[in-house]
Structure 1
Amino acid sequence: MSKFFRGPLFKSALASGAVAGGVILYLDFIRPPVVSNLNNSYKPLRKDIPQPPTRQELLEKVEKSPKFDVLVVGGGATGTGVALDAATRGLNVCLLEKNDFASGTSSKSTKMAHGGVRYLEKAIFQLSKAQLDLVIEALNERGNMLRTAPHLCSVLPIMIPVYKWWQVPYFFVGCKMYDWFAGHQNLRSSTIFSSEMTSAIAPMMDDSNLKAACVYHDGTFNDARMNATLAITAIDQGATVLNYMEVKQLIKDDNNKVKGAIAIDRETGKEYTVKATSTVNATGPLVDKVLEMDKDPKGLPPREVQPPKMVVPSSGVHVVLPEYYCPRDMGLLDPSTSDGRVMFFLPWQGKVLAGTTDIPLKTVPESPVPTEEEIQDILHELQKYIVFPVNRNDVLSAWSGVRPLVRDPSTVKEGESGSTQGLVRSHLITVSPTDLVTISGGKWTTYREMAEETVDTLVNKFDFDGKNNTLLPCQTNNLVLIGGEEYSKNYSARLIHEYKIPLKLAKHLSHNYGSRSAMILELYHQSDYNKLPITLASSKSFAPSEDTASTENHLSYQSFDEPFTIAELKYSLKYEYIRTPIDFLARRTRLAFLNAREALSAVDGVVEIMKKDLQWDEETTEKLRNQAKDYIGQMGISPKKFDVEEFVIQ
């Protein structure tokens, strides 16, 4: 016998083999199999919950409360985030929003929960620790959004097409560094696709000179629904949150300290005095208007509009195109446009979102409107990558938002409103001599951390009637927002099994309402009328009192192309505090942002249902009908009918 078979190596190998064999024998034959709990792992669908406080009940809380701990002015991402954070710590909170939640910049983002690959590039080449800190902060908060709002946020691969060989390692190393700085919250590993693989995934892309594509991963989300969900979750946690309440004046004591505000209910004209221990200015791009009121001894706004000092405004325009302009489950990043910007082309809500521009502004408009030049600018950049002619008539919707870049107002002297001195890339919290706390800047991804730091500032500075020591620490890192409880990524399948609905409707509801989808579908199945698209709500063939609906000669495939039903509108009226048609068409649903023409056709039907539910008179009805049509009419719909050749981007 060979020495090997008698040696220690053979004995060691034999022992190892015996151990491995024993483990396999135990795992496959001796250990009892784990009992599957798949059939019992899901709780029953949530089909009904108590109705939240009505708007009137919330107004009565404002009227009866002698003083709140915190008054938040502004109902965008940051304002509702502050209200939720403060309420979950144990503070008595009131939030007042002049218009609707997310009516400004918070509904007009690029829909990305991201750290910012462009900031990482700047951090490396400029050796900027501030830029790097901003990236790491945002990457951490990206993970938080995906965890606390799983129904509204999801992972999206993003492709960077590369047309020069030397750029392949450059972009790939950048993507890998992006993964590395995300640490344990990295979503998926970056990779490289060959030109053949890229063409297979994105056949609409011009591959004539394509060398490869680098792919990294970020988050995508529904910004306006996220904002409304924050507001509703704050109410659920005990906060008093109201839209359409305009702050007309700050309340000041004899020492010139801010102690609340006087607000007007824009629906009734009734005036409310809201006293508070602390007041937070969270009005986004409009923070300077509240700061001007703060400068006045009586807390009144100036008679003439003043140039902004804290905000450095610029216009960011996005357009929406049909789904065939981009892969269904993968975005496209243009790392360097003709003027040096970064531009995204992303799948979103069944369409393609393209943007953004960056045009400096001298003032901050309350309702910015995209210009034809800005729309054409985006289409021209897109044409660099698309093999077929980009058609202007394909633009389904377009909108403009104001980017909230800020600077420390104390560094700006009188008459130097255009100065960039003191400019910060992240958010900024300031406390004025009057004790007004202002939070501005940042981006959607970091809203939660901005809110946490703001509430930390309040707790450290103000005495909330001796209860500071009993307040809880920040809770929002682990608080799942309404709709995210018991949600799973295959929730749409559960809805299909339970309610026998089309896949498109199931995905729409599950990805926007999460575990509350079944509540809408309970309304959906109450009558055939509730199943109709909202574009048909005003059709004479269908009356709300009818249990069934005759569909003869009225319904078409196009009528059902967008999955927004009357049931969804009735749910929003009951649970989501919509007060105008545009609240529903643009923000609780995104129809106006996805397809402005379809949204225009739905206005009359939405108005008729809301008129009955909210008991509008004829004057109010016509006023809100016209406001909705004017708003949607400015969302990129071509002002005139051009020849087809004029729509093609050369």
Structure 2
Amino acid sequence: MAFKQARRIGQIGACSALALGLGGAYLQTIHNDTLVDFKSKFPPIVTNVEKPPARDDFLKKLGEPVTKLAEELSTKDAQSKFDLIIVGGGATGTGAALDATLRGLNVLLLEKNDFASGTSSKSTKMAHGGVRYLEKAIFQLSKAQLDLVIEALNERAAILNNAPHLATCLPIAIPVYKYWQLPYFYAGCLLYDLFAGSQALRFSYILSRGSLLDKHPQLDSEGLVGGLVYHDGLFNDARMNVSLALTAQKHGATVLNYMEVKQFLKDGAGKSKGVRVVDGETKKEYLVAADAIINATGPYSDAMLSMDESANGLPDPKVLEHPKMVVPSGGVHVVLPEWYCAKDMGLLDASTSDGRVMFFLPWQGKVLAGTTDVPLDRVPENPVASEFEINDILKELQHYVKFEVKREDVLSAWCGVRPLVRDPTTVTSENMKSTQGLVRSHLIFKSPNGLITISGGKWTTYREMAQEVVTETINSTPELQAKNPKPCSTKDFKIVGAENYEISLAARLAQHYRLTDKLATHLAHNYGDRAPVIIDLFKDPENAKPLGLGDHPTYATFDHPFTIGELKYAMRYEYARRPLDFLARRCRLAFLDSKTALACVDEVADVMSNEYGWNADTKKQYIAEAVWYINHMGIEPNQDSYGTF
């Protein structure tokens, strides 16, 4: 008996040893395979990136500067020629430049200020189909509204796919305070998922009261029933815009910021076939011809239309005071500290006092809240957030937050002009103030003298808008058709920063370069596979210094991961020409914390002045420009939306 037990124990031991041995060997094989194959599983970390052409190189393509009187100019005076000129460096303009360039056209993109300096940097930062449009489509039985939702859901997927470093999927909770709303909201969000089809990001789901409070402890719990969670895209709009311009340039486009189109050049038949453009830095003027011109100036479309309409190509100086095509409205957003929202889930207020939808979203380590919708009777040159609109947003937020919402918590605020559009040929002096005839989406309008205007729409559909306007331009221009352009290829085209990006890049950068998690995450999520180029600049300890430390750093000083190296990268690789370009549109500090950005203006100006060799007057001018702009981002109370500088 004892012998049998001993034999059985021996057998069990032998089997156990065999199992352990085989298991160990298997695990060792996995471990060895992982070590062997690890590097092949990820794109390489690349620091050697070719610098883009300098601004002067692009200016040489425009020909010699001229001084001839504007009234005497025509296409015969042009010093250079492109296939296509695109006026406007916002989302649609840069998207069109990329689209046309990939089709094989020789493209010139001209922007009066900086890329994304207007509406395209002042959005709600969402790539979305529009839940509220779906509600209207259902209750109004509107196929047009439903088509808008489906179109935007398709384009949402394109943004997330083509710029994964800049765009991400964000769950958004709708707090419910009435039991009957729970199935109502759930049904609507399931339809939203259904219409997205195979491109749905995640399925919507219901959160219990306790689970919602666990996620959003700042919520007022009184009367709270639970919540409904759906999903949309969140992205960095200005960085996306700049990246589109850089991608267009990488593939052959000539892209220039701070180049103002002052006049259209007419050919013998009176058609608009070129531009007189002024360099905002040197004030030199260039005359450039083209087979076609696209007007992608958004709220300022009417100014270009007046140039096309006039015989000498000069604009009506008062046209923006009585626009025909654009019906402007102001949308204000504010940025608040991170404790106003969960770090990984947004909130949607579906029951505001005036029927609007209000978002509260985690963005770049802060909380973005908005938006308002205030009609404007003219297009402002420098729109600002009024104190009334800021307080309106805070008032709506107070309905949900159990602690006091304070005005001093506002870190930044801004106003973007939303261009609602209509066919300008239908507008008369009698119906100019009417909203009748406004299109729900975007509008492509071909003027009698050949100008192609694209306006309206929203960030989410920028790519489709670009595709449509480039296609329309080619189809209506025999000279472009003769070049046998390729079909559109932007649907699945990775932009700069996305080509070798993968989701663990931030961890790999932190590990490889011994960076803090905050700095590695910031660089990976804003520059993608270009991040190592910035980190490589840190070999010079001066470039590794954070911006805004000053002589007496405090804990608050270290709240943002922006460095001198990032600033130098923006100048050398991203055409940042002035302090505001970097602070507002490359690193977004002015949008995240205006007071901190204001304290950084002089330091940024010093670095840029050394790089570009500014004289004292130029440096003073650019500092004043940045100070005014940032001061009006929620620091100084503004009485209305019509800012001037």
Using the size of structure 2 for normalisation, the TM-score is 0.90
Deviation of 1:598 (Å):
0.3
Contiguous gaps of at least 5 residues in structure 1: 1-27, 542-553, 641-650
Q: Secondary structure of the equivalent of 1:197?
A: helix
Say whether 1:180 aligns with 2:194. yes
**Equivalent-residue separation in structure 1 for 2:527 and 2:453 (angstroms):** 32
Contiguous gaps of at least 5 residues in structure 2: 1-24, 65-78, 639-645
Using the size of structure 1 for normalisation, the TM-score is 0.89
Code of the aligned partner of 1:399: W
Name the structure 2 match of 1:6.
none
Deviation of 1:318 (Å):
0.3
- Name which of 426, 441, 444 aligns with 2:459: 444
Name the structure 1 match of 2:52.
52
Code of the aligned partner of 1:88: L
Q: Secondary structure of the equivalent of 1:425?
A: coil
**Equivalent-residue separation in structure 2 for 1:474 and 1:639 (angstroms):** 46
Deviation of 1:42 (Å):
1.6
Q: Residue 246 of structure 2 contacts residue 574 of structure 2 at CA under 8 Å; is this kept in 1?
A: yes
**Equivalent-residue separation in structure 1 for 2:377 and 2:474 (angstroms):** 36
**Equivalent-residue separation in structure 1 for 2:318 and 2:637 (angstroms):** 33
Written as runs of structure 1 = structure 2, the 5 A alignment for 1:196-235 is 196-235=210-249
Name the structure 1 match of 2:21.
none
Written as runs of structure 1 = structure 2, the 5 A alignment for 1:313-324 is 313-324=328-339
Written as runs of structure 1 = structure 2, the 5 A alignment for 1:390-469 is 390-464=405-479, 467-469=482-484
Q: Secondary structure of the equivalent of 1:62?
A: coil
**Equivalent-residue separation in structure 2 for 1:607 and 1:406 (angstroms):** 38
Q: Residue 62 of structure 1 contacts residue 240 of structure 1 at CA under 8 Å; is this kept in 2?
A: no
Say whether 1:110 aligns with 2:124. yes
**Equivalent-residue separation in structure 2 for 1:45 and 1:62 (angstroms):** 37
Say whether 1:575 aligns with 2:573. yes
Q: Residue 598 of structure 2 contacts residue 630 of structure 2 at CA under 8 Å; is this kept in 1?
A: yes
Say whether 1:368 aligns with 2:383. yes
Q: Secondary structure of the equivalent of 2:606?
A: helix
Deviation of 1:411 (Å):
1.6
Say whether 1:508 aligns with 2:522. yes
Q: Residue 412 of structure 1 contacts residue 419 of structure 1 at CA under 8 Å; is this kept in 2?
A: no
Q: Secondary structure of the equivalent of 1:173?
A: helix
Name the structure 1 match of 2:158.
144
**Equivalent-residue separation in structure 2 for 1:394 and 1:485 (angstroms):** 38
* Root-mean-square deviation over aligned CA pairs: 1.6
Deviation of 1:466 (Å):
5.9
Q: Residue 459 of structure 1 contacts residue 468 of structure 1 at CA under 8 Å; is this kept in 2?
A: no
Q: Residue 73 of structure 1 contacts residue 282 of structure 1 at CA under 8 Å; is this kept in 2?
A: yes
Q: Secondary structure of the equivalent of 1:439?
A: strand
Deviation of 1:407 (Å):
1.1
Written as runs of structure 1 = structure 2, the 5 A alignment for 1:533-552 is 533-536=546-549, 539=550
Q: Secondary structure of the equivalent of 2:479?
A: coil
Code of the aligned partner of 1:164: K
Written as runs of structure 1 = structure 2, the 5 A alignment for 1:583-594 is 583-594=581-592
Code of the aligned partner of 1:556: T
In structure 2, do the counterparts of structure 1 residues 500 and 35 end up closer, same or farther at CA, with 3 Å as the change threshold?
A: closer
Q: Secondary structure of the equivalent of 1:110?
A: coil
Q: Residue 411 of structure 1 contacts residue 421 of structure 1 at CA under 8 Å; is this kept in 2?
A: no
Q: Secondary structure of the equivalent of 2:287?
A: strand
In structure 2, do the counterparts of structure 1 residues 377 and 511 end up closer, same or farther at CA, with 3 Å as the change threshold?
A: same
- Name which of 476, 482, 507 aligns with 2:496: 482
Written as runs of structure 1 = structure 2, the 5 A alignment for 1:618-633 is 618-633=616-631
In structure 2, do the counterparts of structure 1 residues 465 and 202 end up closer, same or farther at CA, with 3 Å as the change threshold?
A: closer
Say whether 1:43 aligns with 2:43. yes
Say whether 1:296 aligns with 2:294. no
Code of the aligned partner of 2:200: N
**Equivalent-residue separation in structure 1 for 2:554 and 2:389 (angstroms):** 34
Code of the aligned partner of 2:393: I
Code of the aligned partner of 1:531: A
Name the structure 1 match of 2:63.
63
Deviation of 1:472 (Å):
1.4
Say whether 1:271 aligns with 2:269. no
Name the structure 2 match of 1:609.
607
- Percent identity over the alignment is 58
**Equivalent-residue separation in structure 1 for 2:339 and 2:590 (angstroms):** 20
- Name which of 545, 551, 561 aligns with 1:532: 545
Code of the aligned partner of 1:425: R
Deviation of 1:450 (Å):
0.2
Say whether 1:359 aligns with 2:343. no
Name the structure 1 match of 2:5.
none
**Equivalent-residue separation in structure 2 for 1:414 and 1:299 (angstroms):** 23
**Equivalent-residue separation in structure 2 for 1:35 and 1:260 (angstroms):** 61
Q: Secondary structure of the equivalent of 1:248?
A: strand
Q: How many residues align?
A: 594
Deviation of 1:465 (Å):
5.9
Code of the aligned partner of 2:543: N
**Equivalent-residue separation in structure 1 for 2:166 and 2:272 (angstroms):** 37
Q: Secondary structure of the equivalent of 1:534?
A: coil
Q: Deviations over 1:415-441 (max 9, x none)?
A: 432122221110100101111000000
Q: Deviations over 1:62-118 (max 9, x none)?
A: 227731111000000000001000000000000110000000000000000000000
- Name which of 179, 198, 205 aligns with 1:191: 205
Q: Residue 104 of structure 1 contacts residue 366 of structure 1 at CA under 8 Å; is this kept in 2?
A: no
Q: Secondary structure of the equivalent of 1:621?
A: helix
Name the structure 1 match of 2:351.
336
Which stretch of the first structure deviates more once superposed, 83-92 or 246-255? 246-255
